[in-house]
Amino acid sequence: MKKFVKPTPPEVTHSGNRAGTRFTNWARSCVKVVSIATASAAIGLSTQAADIVTGIVKREVWNGSDRLSIENGLVGTPSEVTFQPTFEAPSDVADNYAQRMTGVFIPATSGNYNFVISSDDDSDLFLSTDSTSANKRLIAQQPGWNATRKWVGDAGGTTANPKRDSSTWTDASGATPWAAGIPLVAGQAYFIQAVMHEGGGGDNLGVAAYLKGTPAPVDDDDAAIVTEQIGIRVPSSLTVAISPGNTTAQIGTAVRFKATLTPPASEIDDNITFHWHTNGVEVAGVTGANYSTPILDPSLNNLKVDVSVTLEHGAATAASAQSTVTVPATGNTVVWFPEVGIFPWSLSHRCRKWRGWRPSMGSQPD
């Protein structure tokens, strides 16, 4: 379990009916997002093992998608990525999209916690037993839809929906596994994630947390989990490898490279940018984990490919070893004309008919 030591927060106005401090909007804008190592050096705290940047959660949007596609890993690159200062997404921004908010929850006080989710339209809320996504569990859901910041009432009304509070959420068997609250330790980072789908009309998403035995948030309260209790996982060290390694490829083909990170990208909440290089020159417009070479021709023999990685909020960087692409001579299996490309016909029985042929002559000989 990763440990986080919370720096002393600035003096801010308190409001809201739950554990933790509520930052006013002006105060949120003054909170500097720093890694725990940077914060420790700046204010004299002992450096902890956590790789957490505090004060933000990651929000990813996929236009035209749905909640289950995100949860089942069926979506590609997000349409939009932002970082929010509380566990609340912007409201009434679009139709027909799905979004995911990901980060860690860092409780200020040890105890049993309840979590409430409110959204328009449907959403799921997951919490892990530690800072990894591997141990996340479904703890609350928003069926249908709800108006913005309706922590008690549902579907724009006043009747509570038990699925939305972890303490009354029921699993497939009808049990309420979190009825006694979810035990959490102060200062520990717990992976948290909300996934929501929007069809049409209004749209919103927010998550609140409160200690069992303390007043729950009420409707219209600005109760989303506060800046000082959220963060994203950003590694202090990073390595990257590419596959394949040195490889041989035929003329007329392309080699597809894949970059693999340690720790894996699934355990990094920060924006990751991949910088692919060929023969030492960065490839413009390619920033993902995969890169395909151009269609190979003899001029690309011994092409050198490598990748480096940077993070938006973290200082860690990484660079891979170079892979060399060998493009063998054409031999007697293909014919190469730079003007028109590749003609993969065997020379063994056609070479005589090819003599004297030029691209301007039209189709290839029989």
Q: What is the DSSP string of 170-193?
A: --TTS--TTTT-EEE-TTB-EEEE
**Confidence (pLDDT) at 360:** 52
pLDDT at 28 over 50: no
34 and 176 housed in the same domain: yes
pLDDT in tens, 185-194: 999 999 999 9
Judge whether 179 and 168 are in contact, CB under 8 Å.
Answer: yes
Q: What is the pTM of this model?
A: 0.76
**169 and 289 housed in the same domain:** no
Query: Dihedrals φ, ψ of 351, to 5°?
Result: -60, -35
What percent of the chain has pLDDT above 70? Answer: 76
Q: What would the mean pLDDT of 151-164 be, rounded to a whole number?
A: 88
pLDDT tens, 94-132?
Answer: 999 999 999 999 999 999 999 999 999 999 999 999 999
**Boundary-marking domain end, from 209, 233, 257:** 233
pLDDT number for residue 158: 78
Of 182, 205, 233, the position where a domain reaches its end is 233
Name the residue with tokens 């209004």.
202
Q: Is the pLDDT of residue 64 over 80?
A: yes
Q: Would residue 337 count as lying in a domain?
A: no
| CA distances to 56, 230, 238, 360 from 33, in Å | 8, 11, 20, 64
Within a domain: 344: no
User: Does residue 332 fall inside a structural domain?
Assistant: no
254 in the same domain as 216:
no
The total number of structural domains in the chain stands at 2
DSSP state of 100: E
* Same domain, residue pair 51 and 142: yes
Query: In the predicted model, is pLDDT for residue 341 greater than 50?
Result: no
Rounded CA separation 81/287 (Å)? 14
Q: Residue 90: pLDDT above 90? A: yes
| Mean of the per-residue pLDDT values of the chain | 82
Residue 10 lies in a domain: no
Q: Is 223 part of any domain?
A: yes
> Can the peptide bond before residue 263 be classed as cis, meaning omega within 30 degrees of 0?
yes
Residue 17 burial by CB count (10 A; 0-12/13-18/19+): exposed, middle or buried?
middle
Together in a domain, 274 and 190: no
pLDDT in tens, 193-243: 999 999 999 999 999 999 999 999 999 999 999 999 999 999 999 999 999
How far, in Å, CA of 214 to CA of 20, rounded? 12
Instruction: Determine the pLDDT at residue 155.
Output: 85
Model confidence pLDDT, tens digit, residues 272-331: 999 999 999 999 999 999 999 999 999 999 999 999 999 999 999 999 999 999 999 864
Range(s) of the domain holding residue 261: 239-326
